[in-house]
A = this chain, B = another copy of it.
Amino acid sequence: MTRKPATRHATITDVADAAGVSIKTVSRVFNDEPNVRPLTRDRVVKAALDLDYHPNVAARSLAGRRSFLIGLAYENPSPNYVVDLQTGALERLKGERYRLLVLPFADVGAASGKMQAIARASGLDGIVLAPPLCDDAATVAELEACGLPYARIAPTTDGSHAPDVAMDDRAATQAVIDHLVGLGHRRIGIVRGDPSHASATARLEGYRAGLKAHGLTADPVLEAQGAYTFASGYAAGKALLALADRPTAIFASNDDMAAGVLNAAYEAGVSVPGALSVVGFDDSNIASVVWPRLTTVHQPIREMAHDATGALLALIEHQEAPPHQTMPFQLVVRGSTGPARA
């Protein structure tokens, strides 16, 4: 077993010496700055290659006053959602000098008011806020106050000057109701999302508005409370199916809960979509993994995370953000919905 030689890594000075230029010129080359002759550039590049030189991140951060680190803050119980989020952000960062720090929180309370401290402790250049943090007034106010650049993914509330990439949850949910009513359903239940997520409210509103648009009256009994988790969907589904006058269709405010409803239906011996139609929201991985496959609203989380990250970069580098962006939603009809029984 050989001892690791304490090889000092090559520094910018080494490269400068080897290339016969000053360190400033090397710096220019590595920062794609103008005013360096192609020939000089080549010499520097070659010297760097020879010496296996890599700029020191810490030194760059210290001198440049920026870390090239951005955070992705979220509080979401669904692994599928989380991975989509990360993937989108990471994809945008590919090829950039920025790196991503993931910042999961157990609940909004754990993040609220501490965001600035976390950002400084980690030396972040900016933060991408995913639901429900992006809708937390305290968090937004804090970030706004301390001037840290941030962007929001799928916010449902206003009151922020930060760039964001949103989707119209309310309209999407209305489209769900249209679909179900079109299949002949009249008694439609809902499993509400975690009330601390603003999206839960938007979807509930869309549900009610959808019913109203078709001349149906919302029945409080059919509005079961969930928490965006599989277990909560299962429990809510069980309750809904135990109703004397039970619904022929259930809209779950996300896919994980819809999967729970599906399970409750199996247990109750209610066939889907024969005796019960089920709709989810998100079109996350799980929607295509359960049986029958879920009819759901496709929410382009990856793209949203991607674009929000891009907006944040623009904000950091040019102090200006692209305009507010709204993504189109799309109802994906699969096997879990069918005509209402005559």
Contacts and interface: CB of A to CB of B under 8 A. Distances in A.
A39 interface: no
Contacts of A161: 1
Contacts of A79: 79-80, 82-84, 285
Contacts of A62: 56, 58-59, 61-62
Interface string A146-172: 010000000000000100000000000
Oligomeric state, in number of copies?
2
Contact of A291 (B54, B83, B121, B263): B263
Contacts of A266: 291-292
A9 B123 CA distance: 12
Nearest to A76: B83
B122 A104 contact: no
A4 interface: yes
A99 B122 contact: yes
Given A58-B61, A90-B104, 6 more contacts: A9-B120, A86-B104, A100-B101, A230-B289, A290-B290, A291-B291
Interface of A: 1, 4, 9, 54, 56-59, 61-62, 67, 79-80, 82-84, 86-87, 90, 99-102, 104, 117, 120-123, 147, 161, 230, 256, 259-260, 262-263, 266, 285-286, 288-292
20 contacts: A1-B161, A4-B147, A56-B62, A57-B67, A57-B121, A58-B59, A58-B61, A58-B67, A61-B61, A79-B80, A83-B83, A86-B102, A90-B104, A99-B122, A101-B101, A230-B288, A230-B289, A263-B291, A289-B289, A290-B291
A27 to B, nearest CB: 16
